[in-house]
Amino acid sequence: MTVRALFVIALTLVSSTSRASNDLIVSDAWVRATPPGKMMTAGYASIENLSKDVITITSVSAEVAGHTSLHETRIERDRSTMRPVAQLSIKAGERVSLTPGGLHIMLMKLSEPLTDGQSIDICLELENNDSLCSAFSVARHRKAAHNH
């Protein structure tokens, strides 16, 4: 192979690696403010896949948390339970909602309490080793979305 051919292959790989995060749109992102004395909370958002391929989120991270993971809430035998989700695959054109009482992001071992009005970054780590970081506003309760 020529050097030019190797360069074209490398450029193609770099382009396809970073493309997935450009096709994933995070909106309505917020994290619940922590109650006094609590060092864990949950994050919520709407995530839309604008690509023609499945995009898989393999993990989540946040600088303010010692441990961050995807979780789901389930009702089993009239009891609400939470359990970690190993990965989240979002089909082409699909929108997934992370909501209270459903699929959500758990932020544990927080380095500081999170207060109403703050903003933190949460990063979605993708299967192709790319990542997408988005600002999540901190609020006691979900605020109504503004339409302009």
pLDDT at 82: 86
Report the alpha-carbon distance of residue 34 to residue 81 in Å, rounded: 20
Segments making up each domain of the chain, as ranges? 3-139
pLDDT in tens, 112-146: 999 999 999 999 999 999 999 999 999 998 754 44
Is 3-139 CATH 3.40.50.620?
A: no
How does residue 91 score in pLDDT terms, banded at 50, 70 and 90? very high
Q: How much is the pTM?
A: 0.81
